[in-house]
Amino acid sequence: MSKEKFGVGQSIKYAKRKPRKALLFVSILILLSFLVNLLLLPYIEKYVSKNKTREIEKLKYEYALMSIRMERMNKSIEDLNQKDDSLYSGVFGLDPLSKEVRMAGTGGHEMNADLNGYEYSYLLKSTNVKLKALEAKIQIQQESYKRIDKKVKMVTSKISCIPAIQPVKNKHLTMVSSGYGMRMHPIHDTVRMHWGIDFAAPKGTKIYATGDGVVEFAGVRHDGYGKNVIINHGFGYKTLYAHMNKINVKRGQKVSRRDYIGDVGSTGSSSGSHVHYEVMKKGQKIDPANFFFDDLNYSEYRQMMEISGRINRSLD
């Protein structure tokens, strides 16, 4: 009986000692951890600070490079703006964009509230402001180039449409027989206004469109022109080719400069084989000699003006 009591007492006593040992062990661990942290903390802080400083320096270096690149981009855009205003706009007759338009959207007002609260918010905000300004300038320049491109296309179209060559191949100007102005009519034998230039050429000589356009008339008229073609070039310009022997186009057909449209003849009121050529601008007949700038050099042009200006007898 006494032995049993002794065994139970020992077990109770041992069970009471076990939590105490565990508590002591945990306390020692906590103390050791505190001491280790206390000793190592300066080194840890130094390591973290060193890495952070290195990252900050790299960030500043990258920011400096980015700023340089953005400044170069800004300078390039400024050069484009200057060329746009002084060259492109001037050449194509466009008004340069105003300073107010070019500066639109490039102000420095607060638009980076979401970047506040960071240690280096000023770097982020400064970069973002510069980028926004560049984006605005690029967009404005793109819009300016769109209007220039539109104008270029229109000018290019106009250049190709203006009647700028002779209606027959006349390299040495030997075919010009009578020019624009008062001339003696070959049939009525009276002085009349001659509204075009006569190019004397053998029957069947090819006649060419002098500019891009659409055939407005192709047939026979009873006003002395015989078989003739009228081309509407747009921009207020029309050309007439009269006394043709053969017509090679039809009404509504699109033609380009130097397209073959028919042959030289002597139909209608005519005293010889030739093509009577007229240029009209906004309904007014004007001297065709002023438009042969695409296939004549300066000396040839002077010669053409001299020949067409001679007072003689016309062929129609």
Q: Are 231 and 215 in contact (CB under 8 A)?
A: yes
Mean pLDDT of 266-294: 89
Strands (E), 78-235: 176-178, 181-184, 191-194, 197-200, 206-208, 213-221, 226-234
For 221, other C-beta atoms within 10 Å of its C-beta total 14
Q: How far is CA 74 from the centre of its chain?
A: 20
Rounded Cα–Cα distance for residues 15 and 9 (Å): 10
Q: Are 138 and 76 in contact (CB under 8 A)?
A: no
Superfamily holding 176-308: Glucose Permease (Domain IIA) (2.70.70.10)
Count, residues in the chain: 316
Residue 262 CB partners (closer than 8 Å, separation 6+): 206, 207, 227, 229, 241, 244, 245, 246, 247, 248, 249
Residue 145 CB partners (closer than 8 Å, separation 6+): 84
Residue 103 CA: distances (Å) to CA of 72, 138, 259: 18, 11, 49
Residue 93 CB partners (closer than 8 Å, separation 6+): 151
Residue 287 CB partners (closer than 8 Å, separation 6+): 179, 180, 181, 279, 308
Q: Are 62 and 119 in contact (CB under 8 A)?
A: no
- φ, ψ of residue 72 in degrees (nearest 5): -65, -45
Using CA atoms of 140, 141, 144, 150 in order, give the dihedral in degrees to the nearest 10: -120
Rounded Cα–Cα distance for residues 188 and 264 (Å): 22
Q: Bigger pLDDT: 307 or 253?
A: 253
Residue 109 has pLDDT above 50, yes or no: no
Q: Bigger pLDDT: 106 or 180?
A: 180
Using CA atoms of 284, 287, 290, 292 in order, give the dihedral in degrees to the nearest 10: 100
Residue-level pLDDT at 18? 60
Share of the chain above pLDDT 90, in %: 27
Q: Bigger pLDDT: 203 or 23?
A: 203
Q: Are 84 and 141 in contact (CB under 8 A)?
A: yes
Q: Are 109 and 129 in contact (CB under 8 A)?
A: no
Q: Taking phi first (over 0 means left), then psi (-120 to 50 degrees means alpha), and beta for anything else, what does residue 12 get?
A: alpha
Give the tokens for residue 74.
């800004």
Rounded Cα–Cα distance for residues 80 and 102 (Å): 12
Give the tokens for residue 314.
């016309």
Q: Bigger pLDDT: 294 or 197?
A: 197
Q: Are 194 and 179 in contact (CB under 8 A)?
A: yes
Residue 106 CB partners (closer than 8 Å, separation 6+): 132, 133, 136, 137
Residue 42 has pLDDT above 60, yes or no: yes
pLDDT category of residue 16 using cuts at 50, 70 and 90: low
Residue 212 has pLDDT above 70, yes or no: yes
pLDDT category of residue 34 using cuts at 50, 70 and 90: low
User: Domain segments of the chain: what residues?
Assistant: 2-161, 176-308
